[in-house]
Structure formats: C-alpha cells, structure tokens
A = this chain, B = another copy of it.
Amino acid sequence: MEHVIEVRARYQECDPMGVVHHTVYPVWFEMGRTELLRSLGGSYREMEAEGVLLAVISLEVRYHAPARYDDLLSLRTTLSGGSRVKLEHAYELSLDGRKLVTGRTVLACLDGDGRPRPLPDALVPAD
C-alpha cells in the first residue's frame, strides 16, 4: 500500500542556507501517513478520538539533495512492514522525478493512557 501527495515547501520551513531545514521532512512524512490512511478510508483523528494513538518509536532520514522554498514536491509513503503492534513506513521525496530525501519510521500503537495495545484489526498489515 502506498500513496503520493504533493507538498509545497513553505518559506518558514527554509533556513539560512536557503534550503528546507532537515527537521521539516519528518513533519511531511507524518502528513504522508495521514493521507495514506485517509486514502484507505481511515482517519487518525477519529482513531485518536477513540483512544487509539500511534507513536513514532524510530525515525531514519537520508538527505540526498535539498528541497528549496516554493518547490512543489512529491512524497510517496509506503506501508513497508508491521505486526500486530507496530507499523513501518517508508518515504521517498522527489522533485521532478529526482529523489531528494528518503526515510523510514516505526510506529507503536498506544491506548489513551500511553500504554501499548494491539493495532485495530483494520490497520494490521496483511501477511
């Protein structure tokens, strides 16, 4: 399962080197996850309202080339693995077909009190 969104780099997201600050890409990854879930008919907002939280427990980012202010970028989010309690996503950000940044996250499922709980059945990756 994968999903592609467009992201426009904001001025506020760029730093004195004139490029998108390296801490911004994981913010976009989170948007990619939200939209991947929406494309499957789900909603993080509704999940949270029902006390099902997804917390990032691991993040990796590789920066190949920088994005710049006003770039209209393409972010591909892929559900790359998981289990009954974790989800793994992979990310590829590109500009005009050129890969700029790649990443990977692992999310754990928590209840409203921050304790681990199984993923809702609808989110458990198929074998």
Question: A: which residues have CB within 8 A of B?
Answer: 8, 10-12, 14-18, 21-24, 26-27, 30-31, 34, 43-45, 48, 53, 55-63, 66, 68-70, 114
Contacts and interface: CB of A to CB of B under 8 A. Distances in A.
Which 9 interchain pairs have the tightest Cβ spacing? A45-B70, A22-B56, A59-B61, A23-B26, A16-B18, A12-B27, A14-B16, A57-B63, A60-B60
Contacts of A68: 45
Contact of A15 (B16, B23, B26, B59): B16
A11 B34 contact: yes
Contacts of A66: 55, 114
A53 B15 CA distance: 12
